[in-house]
Structure 1
């Protein structure tokens, strides 16, 4: 296992996440030998480290210290349960705790190998809400997206609200932050068809979804940028979702989920 000294050199969130996974590994290894028991005790010293201070609120740190004190009196299955309690508590603080029905690997991470990945890519054009970006990552994980390009100006994928909403899917879907000029060069040099999720386009039930391609999604207020929209218009054009309500548009994450499901099932 990684040494405590090495853990103290990691970035804040990485240190907390790695510590959480180590508690999960130790829970699976119980009964522990003397060396593992000593390592478990040393892990709890990280709860007061600078990395944990940066990530956890004071009340969260105090709760962890209470859990750490209980470790000394636990054995067998009780110890395993408490170690896993700490594991899931830390993941919950990070906003990346898996649900009981998620497909996870032996380390407790979402098992990306279980995904069905298609030749479908997304461009997120200056989506400002970390909540929406996290929701789109979760839909992308479910509906076969191979890669997400985030145009510079998008909210940070490491923002706590994005991580909380994505539920770990920022780790399972490949992604890249890219300047618009660089992306335009990439797209112009690609033979893949492009289309935009925008108003004024062909209805989703009639749209000719490509087997391989790239979908461009813009923000709710300004939509897709003129340069990106021009490339889409020269390829497959626009896709629109018919609505029957009073609002002029859907939440962008909801619209993206509807589009991705249709593309996935075509």
Structure 2
């Protein structure tokens, strides 16, 4: 659920720090603080307000500072610079998603992805030939929690998903929490990792019908699931990105799960299981 803008502003007043002050911090502290500040700017943009573009540019200028070069490898630095270059062409919600991509990338470099329950289970090798396959693709649009990604893989294995596409910025499937939760299913379902614009181009090339599991859509019980198509799952905090949501709206649309409780939404892996069951038997 989105934070009220007043609350976001209050948090910003507490966490914003001058660029000069950031330069004085030790390496890990500086990188971690910059990650948090990109997240704060993302929240502002997500609320439809104008983030501080000058401040964002100042944060990006730190990427060449010794605090970053001491921690990031050459390949990580190249990926970070590529993310920062995308900022210049984005506004509104699209800017929010890129800022959040940078936030999550920096956390992953530090080994500080969102925490989940730690529990250990032994994974056995699974016989993928036993799976029932349907021409169904599942798109994970920046799911940040390794626990949720692993859970989605495990559920998708049972409901005919042919392939899973992961938008860059989605939690790494090799993360220990993802591996434990997937229970071997990251090996039974083929997957691809793509940058969002490349993925949208691929959907268009394949003339692939697509729908988003999002709020404000058609009731699950009356939704016309495509026989062949892709289902898009959005991130835990921000939902489906504007680009993918626009593609879905022009294609099959959105599907929503009616709820009868005090909460306004379900955990993404739980919601995915409900949706995949209906799609599998539609």
TM-score between both structures, scaled by the size of structure 2: 0.57
User: Is this contact kept in 2: 1:95–1:161, CA < 8 A?
Assistant: no
Supply the RMSD in Å over aligned alpha carbons.
1.3
- Distance (Å, rounded) in 2 between the aligned partners of 1:174 and 1:97: 18
Cα distance, 1:180 vs structure 2: 0.6
- Distance (Å, rounded) in 1 between the aligned partners of 2:192 and 2:181: 19
User: Is this contact kept in 1: 2:144–2:236, CA < 8 A?
Assistant: no
Cα distance, 1:241 vs structure 2: 0.2
Which one of the candidate residues 76, 97, 104 is aligned to 2:123?
97
Query: In structure 2, what is the equivalent of residue 181 of structure 1?
Result: 197
- Distance (Å, rounded) in 2 between the aligned partners of 1:154 and 1:220: 11
Aligned pairs, number: 164
Secondary structure, counterpart of 2:174 in structure 1: coil
Q: Is 1:150–2:154 an aligned residue pair?
A: no
Q: Is 1:230–2:246 an aligned residue pair?
A: yes
Secondary structure, counterpart of 1:246 in structure 2: coil
Cα distance, 1:219 vs structure 2: 1.3
**Max Rg structure:** 1
Q: 1:218 to 1:96 in 2, by over 3 A?
A: farther
Query: In structure 2, what is the equivalent of residue 264 of structure 1?
Result: 280
Which one of the candidate residues 183, 200, 204 is aligned to 2:220?
204
Query: In structure 2, what is the equivalent of residue 138 of structure 1?
Result: 154
Query: In structure 2, what is the equivalent of residue 215 of structure 1?
Result: 231
Cα distance, 1:190 vs structure 2: 2.0
TM-score between both structures, scaled by the size of structure 1: 0.60
Alignment of 1:43-58 (within 5 A): none
User: Is this contact kept in 2: 1:94–1:160, CA < 8 A?
Assistant: no
User: Is this contact kept in 2: 1:112–1:172, CA < 8 A?
Assistant: yes
Alignment of 1:27-176 (within 5 A): 95-98=121-124, 109-176=125-192
User: Is this contact kept in 2: 1:220–1:252, CA < 8 A?
Assistant: yes
- Distance (Å, rounded) in 2 between the aligned partners of 1:94 and 1:176: 26
User: Is this contact kept in 2: 1:232–1:238, CA < 8 A?
Assistant: yes
Cα distance, 1:187 vs structure 2: 1.2
Cα distance, 1:95 vs structure 2: 5.0
- Distance (Å, rounded) in 2 between the aligned partners of 1:254 and 1:215: 15
Cα distance, 1:192 vs structure 2: 2.0
- Distance (Å, rounded) in 2 between the aligned partners of 1:150 and 1:217: 10
- Distance (Å, rounded) in 1 between the aligned partners of 2:155 and 2:205: 28
Cα distance, 1:220 vs structure 2: 2.3
Secondary structure, counterpart of 1:215 in structure 2: strand
Which one of the candidate residues 258, 261, 282 is aligned to 1:242?
258
Unaligned runs of 5+ in 2: 1-118
- Distance (Å, rounded) in 1 between the aligned partners of 2:149 and 2:168: 13
Unaligned runs of 5+ in 1: 1-92, 99-108
